[in-house]
A and B are shown apart, each in its own frame.
Chain A
Amino acid sequence: MRSIMMKNAVLIVASAIALTSVLRGEEKITVKGSDTMVILAQRWAEKYMSAHPDVVIQVTGGGSGTGISALINGTTDICNASRPIKPSERDKLKTRYGSLGVEIKSARDGLSVYVNEQSPVKELSLQQLKDIYTSKTTNWKDVGGPDEKIILYGRENNSGTYVYFKDNVLLGDDYSSSMQSMPGTAAVVNAVAKDKWGIGYGGAAYGKGIREVKVKKDEGSPAYAPTLENIKSGNYPISRFLYLYVKNRPTGALKQYIDWILNDEGQKIVSEVGYFPIR
């Protein structure tokens, strides 16, 4: 008798919660895309939902390319991307929705280059990085290190970080076939942390447990670390924006959320996670 009453009570309470949600008119916002931004996006979502209990924000990664495809297919409201949208992707968005999409710069990131803590290499030029990742340079001794083979770690091709590094460091050349593709920046960091002769790249926020090398534009230039000051001044050669893309001009709950991301509260979270505010 008592257990039946308990079950009934649970059912009544659950129904009441569901009904309350419906009556309250919960807004749901879906966010998909960049793995570089997924921790940041989750922190934004958690903070925003705690202040706006009528909004449910669902965040998943999958890579910038996956996010942009989801935007084109209509299965996400916001796409996080660590690279600009490509002309061919914009054409698909244009064809389907009659809109170029709306690009919002939400944060800055310095693309870090990681080596193992035990590696003696402290700085590399852009040309050296290009030569390493295209396997023109295969031994650490050619860049001031010991006589050891360079082990390459990178990202998979649906990653905005992969595309950004290829466009801006490799200048469009293909990655070496020996590069091991990892599913996220955390996996790259983990691999380099365990491989004494490994090298990897990724967002600055993930640079824990390994050492970031300083990067210089060319042999004659000074090398800079990926700090806020160096990124803002343009001295650090590999810096980028982290983007939000939406299909159309945002309105309603979507606009309120994006405005919040761009204001002081959202940008404070950017700094806390390890990226750099947009202003």
Chain B
Amino acid sequence: MTKYLLLAMGILCLVMPAVAQQQEPATKEELAEIKGMVDGINESAAEYRVYVDALRKIKISGYMQPQFRYTDLVNTSFLVGTFSGGTFPANTKNLFQVRRGRIKVNYDNNLTQFVIQIDAIQTGFTTKDAYLSIVEPWTKSVGLQMGIFNRPFGYEIEYSSSNRESPERSRFTQTLFPGERELGAKLFYAPQMGPLTMFRADVGLFNGSGPTANEYDNFKEVIGHLVYQLPFEQANAELDMGVSGYFGAVRNNTKFLYKAGDLPSGAKGFIADSTASNLNDGVGRTYVGFDAQFYYDVPSVGGAILRGEYVFGKQPGTSSTSVSASAQPATPIYQREFAGWYVYYIQNIGSKEQIVVKYDVFDPNTKISSSQFMNTNASGASGLAATDIKYSTIGFGLIHHWDDNVKFVLYYELVKNEKLTNITDTSSPLFPYAGDVNDSVLTFRMQCRF
């Protein structure tokens, strides 16, 4: 029995290698075929990678802000809500609107960027950004940007509307910088590495006519902003401080230039300077601003932000408006000395809820106080107008971040104007401002961002 067993094992030992040898060529062929397929797939992948790498440079982002607004006052004789998301149409106290509908395309080639952003809302399309930006390849800290982009002044202008906690920017920002953007070029310094990462500087030359209008005079505006960041890492806090300057001019189309002063009657008003050389002269548009933001992580609650900005200077306008002009003013220039400031407090509750409180003041004519508006003043060549009235706005808001794309904002703005108590003539266009006009606005907004 043992002999037969051993014989069988011996025969098996002889036969099995032969069988294996017969299998080897087939296995080798299959392996070679599979290797060829894998090499082919690798070659295709390498080819597709070139396309994928090119496509990765194109980034598309955007956000939309549909909202509902309500105001107590029915718009009959003057504008309501202009600085709270847009003027309410006549006889309208509440409305739905798409406040912003932005699509932004950014081609990011690391040191070169090409950006186009448009706004699509119920009234049509507008261009928001259209610029090129290049950064030098040595330190990667200094760059040049040209086209339509945010004016480098202060903090609130460049702070994206998709991030901002209040629905609208402050009154002085909307007055001095309508549209936020400007046509021009700037140099920027923004180091990402090294000992100077706490500094950032921007300085540029701009048309001064706003983002969607052509230049209308030969005066260019110099705008600059310098920022310093001071972290307190042990306390998980940081203080960022900035200083800004705006130096430009608006051409006077007439020989008349008006500035606030004492009228012959003794009342306050605008005094005309009718020197012939005023015609075609540049009327100074100069602003100086200071901004600061303090960040502090409140233990067990969430991060808190205290943010403020103060701006003062001289603003060339017209008899009826202080808003920066996007076209050559045909009428005489009224140059007003102004001051404006705001303070925000934002408290994060966990990672999804935010409480916002904002106080915003704008005095478009610091030379005139409320008691100096008299019945004898009328809007006109030497008179004060509604545009000279000081406003303060206090806003309260609740924000809920639904997820990383969607947030809901409920915000109430209590808008207060200085009371012109000496206006008693009911026929005066300023009579409604003898008391506080009830033009507060409630906004409910839904935002989706991608």
Contact = CB atoms under 8 A, between A and B. Distances in A.
A247 B352 CA distance: 12
Interface stretch (B5-13, B112-120, B281-289, B291-299): B291-299
Contact of A248 (B163, B238, B303, B352): B303
Interface of chain A: mostly helix, strand, loop or mixed: loop
Interface stretch (B229-237, B316-324, B372-380): B229-237
B303 A97 contact: yes
B333 interface: no
B351 A74 contact: yes
B401 interface: yes
Given A74-B351, A88-B192, A249-B236, A98 B295 contact: yes
B258 to A, nearest CB: 42
Interface size class of A (residues with CB under 8 A): 20 to 34
A15 interface: no
Nearest to B303: A98
Given A88-B192, A100-B295, A172 B140 contact: yes
Contact of A96 (B163, B238, B297): B163
Interface string B197-217: 100000000000000000000
Nearest to A248: B297
Contacts of B305: 98
Contacts of A87: 192, 197
B302 A248 contact: yes
Interface in B300-340: 300, 302-305
A263 interface: no
Interface in A224-279: 247-249, 251
Interface of B: 110, 140, 159, 163, 192-193, 197, 231, 233, 236-238, 295-297, 299-300, 302-305, 346-348, 351-352, 401, 403-404
Given A98-B295, A99-B297, A100-B237, 14 more contacts: A74-B403, A87-B192, A98-B304, A98-B346, A98-B348, A99-B303, A100-B231, A100-B233, A100-B238, A167-B193, A172-B140, A247-B351, A249-B299, A249-B300
Interface of A: 73-75, 86-88, 94-100, 102, 167, 172, 174, 247-249, 251
16 contacts: A87-B192, A88-B192, A94-B238, A94-B295, A98-B304, A98-B346, A99-B295, A99-B297, A99-B303, A172-B140, A172-B193, A174-B110, A248-B236, A248-B303, A249-B300, A251-B300
